[in-house]
Structures are given as C-alpha cells and as structure tokens.
C-alpha cells in the first residue's frame, strides 16, 4: 500500500527559451517512484496519483499562449479552453510534454533503474476542457 502523505510544489520545466509552469506532487516517503504526466487543470488527480506512489506532474499546456490559465468546467472556461486549444500547435505541445518527461528524468525521486518500479506514463482528461 502506498504512503498517502504527499509533497507538492510549483516548478518550472525548461524547454528551450520557455519555462513551462508545472504542478508537481510526489510521495512524502523517501525512495524513488515511477512518474506520470497529468494535464494541468487536474491538481486533485495529480495529488491522488502521488498518494498512490508516483511522482506526478501537471504541466501548464497553455503556457505559450495564456500563462497562468487554468480551466474549470464552467461554460465560460470551456469556451476559452476551446479557443486556446485551437491555437495550440501539435509540435509545441509534444515538445512541452517531452520537456516535462526530461525534467522528471532529472528528478531525484523518479525511478530510473530497471530493478525499481520505473517508467513514465502520461494521462489527460478532455484536452483543454473540450
């Protein structure tokens, strides 16, 4: 059973000239853990994944066009999210997710050895609240 205690932090993921804001959650216990990338507006999911024994990170996928934007499921946020989604370029999004994975690879608590529970996962829910 995983330790339900977690630590959270706002971090910045470097990707060339961009520093992508991200929300990081990880088990409070010492050790190394597998890692998961979660889309940014889902802090509670990020924290639940961390309480299950993973290092979880939620990058701000709209950082390039709307720094600080986080959406809820209000009609207004859904409309704005759809507008932002239409402006996102797939190559930039893939680059930002890869930069987030590269960030996790440098994180001390992320498992990297075959003998540990290692690997990376990526999960998202309704990209851009669409």
Could you read off the pLDDT of 70-88 as tens digits, one per residue? 877 788 988 998 899 899 8
Q: Characterize the bridge pairing of strands 6-15 and 18-27.
A: antiparallel
Q: Does residue 21 lie in a domain region?
A: yes
CB 25 within 8 A of CB 8: yes
Q: Does residue 56 lie in a domain region?
A: yes
Q: Which of 92, 106, 115 is nearest to 35 (CA)?
A: 106
Q: Write down the residue that tokens 């934007």 correspond to.
A: 69
Report, as an integer, the average pLDDT of 53-80: 87
**3 state DSSP class of 11:** strand
- 0.85 surpassed by pTM: no
Q: What is the CATH number of the domain that holds 108?
A: 3.40.50.1820
Range(s) of the domain holding residue 71: 6-125
Q: Does residue 69 lie in a domain region?
A: yes
Q: Does residue 104 lie in a domain region?
A: yes
Q: Is the pLDDT of residue 130 over 60?
A: no
| Residue 8 pLDDT | 94
Q: Does residue 130 lie in a domain region?
A: no
């Amino acid at each position: 059973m995983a330790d339900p205690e977690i630590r959270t932090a706002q971090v910045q993921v470097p990707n060339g000239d961009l520093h992508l804001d991200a929300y990081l959650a990880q088990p409070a216990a010492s050790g190394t853990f597998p890692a998961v990338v979660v889309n940014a507006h889902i802090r509670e999911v990020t924290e639940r994944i961390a309480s299950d024994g993973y290092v979880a990170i939620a990058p701000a996928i709209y950082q390039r066009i709307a720094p600080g934007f986080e959406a809820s499921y209000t009609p207004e946020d859904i409309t704005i999210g759809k507008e932002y989604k239409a402006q996102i370029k797939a190559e930039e999004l893939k680059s930002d997710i890869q930069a987030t994975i590269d960030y996790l690879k440098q994180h001390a608590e992320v498992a990297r050895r075959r003998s540990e529970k290692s690997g990376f996962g990526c999960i998202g829910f309704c990209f851009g609240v669409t």
